[in-house]
Amino acid sequence: MEQAVKPSRTVQIGLAIFFVGLLAAPVVYKRYQRSEASSAAKMSKAQALSRYGFYLQESSKASGIDFVHQAPTLDVKLSHIMNLVASMGAAVSIVDFDRDGWEDIYVVNSKPGSRNALYRNLGNGKFRDVAAEVGLADVNLPGTGVSTGAVWGDYDNDGYEDVLIYKWGKPELFHNDRGKHFTRVTEQAGLPSWLNANTALWFDYDNDGKLDLFIGGYYPEYLDLWHLKTTKMMPNSFEYADNGGRKYLFHNLGNGRFEEVSAKLGINSRRWSLAAVAADLRGTGYPDLFIANDYGVSELYLNEGGKGFREAGKEAGVGFSPKSGMTASVGDILNRGQFDVYVSNISEEGVLVQGNNLWMPKPGASTKAIRYDNMANTFGVELGGWSFGAQFADLNNDGFLDLYVATGNVSLDHGRSYWYDYSKIAGGNQAIISDAANWPPLEGRSLSGYQHKRVWINDGEGRFKEVAQMVGVKDVYDGRSVAMADFENRGALDVVVANQRGPLLLYKNTVAPGRHWIEFQLEGQRSNRSAIGAEVRVFWAGQEQLQQVSGGSGFCSQNERRLHFGLGSGTAVDRVEIRWPSGTKQTLAHPAIDEIHNVEEPL
């Protein structure tokens, strides 16, 4: 055995300096980063426009929007953790419900007796709430549950967008009577009498030209959250919970009725779903279904030719590491002509650093199989606090999709946090965690509250930069649902954010001059008339960007159906390829830029 020696004084001193240096390195680096961020946050609007190419001005009041979300109040047995269990419900979706060419806003409320609002876009920068006039306001009557979201789709192909309002309670389907009034058709449609859902979307899974409907349960559907028989209704694990709400897949029979086919088609899950998005991820021509689940792994249901679904989350790499999925959005972030998927999760300093996921397809994906890598860290879109809704959109019209993430969970007392108690219970065995009676009382404390939002701009080369503070997004409400629309038909995407127990915010977007754009308003003929599922590829200046018309994405939200493409300094579009859900392919040669194009599916 070798003889050890006593280290010399020089070695000892050198070692001490090395150790202290190691300890100091991250502290010094953090200080440097903070001082940079602090000086950047003081940037003026003109500087932000010049540097980042856009600026977001909160304009809800000036636009006539004065909506404030009211949270649910559930059974008194949950009163000690009420703000925690009732921390969702704020949701927003975009629709042109009266086909006047201006995008409108529908926002839901969640207190029993509270009213939802439909803000009609008057075309002059102002909005007016017409929900009561058209019959969409009073949908949260005591005993019927409360709204948690709404998605729009023309299920009967009459040219007007109908709406499903999903709830913790009785879901409601309303038929749009030519933009003048809405008629409740829930019973005729065959929807269930009660569920506790936090996500839904319209899609035509079998491409038969009629929109089908997916609804994802959160709390189990057999629970009436206002009349609980037991407090054993919480997730049975923080990471492997399988006692949540069931999933529904309603096949559109075409006569105003729907048939529930989830089990028949292979969707069997009781995970706690918070978000879903449908998109043709493999180029099969049929939309796959990606579900982000709280308290567990995400699920990826591959569409097998419209005849069934196969869960392939693990196989694809997205269903392995359990997190707290709260949004599911798709976007072609590198202009590769492929969809990437973004899922938001929780990151809290020193407690729970799940990180958000940016799932990018690995090379070699085929119609049979697809595998993903999580590139969120590499691309710099990973740490977003307690992230909820997120949407991709080209906010600065530079030709690359940016990312807006709403954050913040429960903001109550500023200086008192519930995280310590939350961490106690979250790590416990199922017998402990699943009973709400074991959960320590919230007592007015915050849980990841008062968080700044994330607005990540995409450099197109594999990095995103966080610029929220610099471009005018400075609110710290508990952000939930994010939706994008060009409300003034001027080629700039505005941002609407629904906040839990907070105001509906409208961030109007100013884009720097010299950046071009093009937009497409699609209408199906053989395909569903909303054109949900239609894919548009724009080719310009050596770039190719893919977008699709979506029937719901993000967290409890839906963007405008119109598709917006930023073109940067590009002054011409080479061609546009449209693939309709029916399979019809259409090419537009050299469409004019800086215009909205209305495109009908060719027969």
Partner 1 sequence: MGATGTTLPASAGAPEHRASVITRFFSRENRYLPPLFITLILVVGQAKFGLLESFSRTALAIATSMILDMLLARLVLGKWPNLASAYITGISVGILIRSPAFWPYALCSAYGITSKYAIRWRGRHLFNPSNLAISAMLLLVPEYIAALSIQWGNDVWPLIIVWILGALIVWRVRRFHITLTYVLSFIAFSALRSLVVGDSFLAEVAPITGPMYQLFIFFMITDPRTTVKSFRGQCLVAFLVAAMEMVLRLGGSINAPFYALTIVGPIALAIDIWRRSKATPPVPVAAIAAR
Binding site for partner 1 (CB under 8 A): 1-7, 11-12, 15-16, 18-19, 22-23, 25-27, 30, 236-242, 297, 320-322, 348-355, 376-377, 382-383, 417, 419-421, 423-433, 437-441
Nearest distance in Å: CB 408, partner 1: 16
- For residue 276, give both structure tokens: 């879903």
Q: Is 600 helix (H, G, I), strand (E, B) or coil?
A: strand
Nearest distance in Å: CB 370, partner 1: 20
Q: Is 471 helix (H, G, I), strand (E, B) or coil?
A: coil
Nearest distance in Å: CB 82, partner 1: 17
Nearest distance in Å: CB 2, partner 1: 4
Q: What is the dihedral of CA 564, 568, 570, 574, to 10 degrees?
A: -30
DSSP code, position 545:
E
Which residue's CB is nearer to partner 1, number 245 or number 533?
245
Contact 86, 476 (CB under 8 A): no
Nearest distance in Å: CB 17, partner 1: 9
List of long-range contacts for 172-181, beta carbons under 8 Å, 24+ apart? 172/139, 174/135, 174/136, 175/256, 176/97, 179/97, 179/98, 179/99, 179/100, 180/98, 180/134, 181/134, 181/135
Which residue's CB is nearer to partner 1, number 25 or number 263?
25
Which residue's CB is nearer to partner 1, number 259 or number 349?
349
Which residue's CB is nearer to partner 1, number 3 or number 124?
3
| Listed residue (153, 239, 167, 162) closest to 198, CA to CA | 167
- Considering only CA atoms, give the Rg of the chain: 24
Nearest distance in Å: CB 353, partner 1: 4
- For residue 245, give both structure tokens: 């709400």
Contact 578, 586 (CB under 8 A): yes
Which residue's CB is nearer to partner 1, number 419 or number 450?
419
Which residue's CB is nearer to partner 1, number 304 or number 435?
435
Contact 395, 48 (CB under 8 A): no
| Contacts with 313 (C-beta within 8 Å, 6 or more apart), sequence order | 297, 298, 299, 300, 319, 320
Contact 110, 90 (CB under 8 A): yes
Point out which residues pair with 465 in neighbouring strands. 457
Q: Is 297 helix (H, G, I), strand (E, B) or coil?
A: coil
Which residue's CB is nearer to partner 1, number 25 or number 572?
25
Which residue's CB is nearer to partner 1, number 431 or number 572?
431
Contact 553, 392 (CB under 8 A): no
Residue type (1 letter), 501: R
- For residue 424, give both structure tokens: 């106690």
Nearest distance in Å: CB 248, partner 1: 24
Nearest distance in Å: CB 467, partner 1: 19
Q: Is 549 helix (H, G, I), strand (E, B) or coil?
A: coil
Nearest distance in Å: CB 435, partner 1: 8
Which residue's CB is nearer to partner 1, number 11 or number 41?
11
Element of type H or E holding 203: strand 195-203
Nearest distance in Å: CB 458, partner 1: 19
Contact 494, 485 (CB under 8 A): yes
Which residue's CB is nearer to partner 1, number 437 or number 572?
437
Which residue's CB is nearer to partner 1, number 371 or number 597?
371
Which residue's CB is nearer to partner 1, number 125 or number 444?
444
The greatest distance separating any two alpha carbons of the chain, rounded to the nearest whole angstrom, comes to: 92
Nearest distance in Å: CB 84, partner 1: 14
Nearest distance in Å: CB 386, partner 1: 13
**Full DSSP string of 406-457:** EE-SB--EEEEESHHHHHHHHTS-HHHHT-GGGSPP-TTEEBS-SPPPEEEE
Q: What are phi and psi of 187, to 5 degrees?
A: -70, -45
Handedness of CA 565, 387, 200, 338 (dihedral sign): positive
Nearest distance in Å: CB 102, partner 1: 41
Point out which residues pair with 536 in neighbouring strands. 547, 578
| Listed residue (554, 523, 553, 551) closest to 204, CA to CA | 551
Which residue's CB is nearer to partner 1, number 297 or number 498?
297
Which residue's CB is nearer to partner 1, number 349 or number 600?
349
Nearest distance in Å: CB 295, partner 1: 9
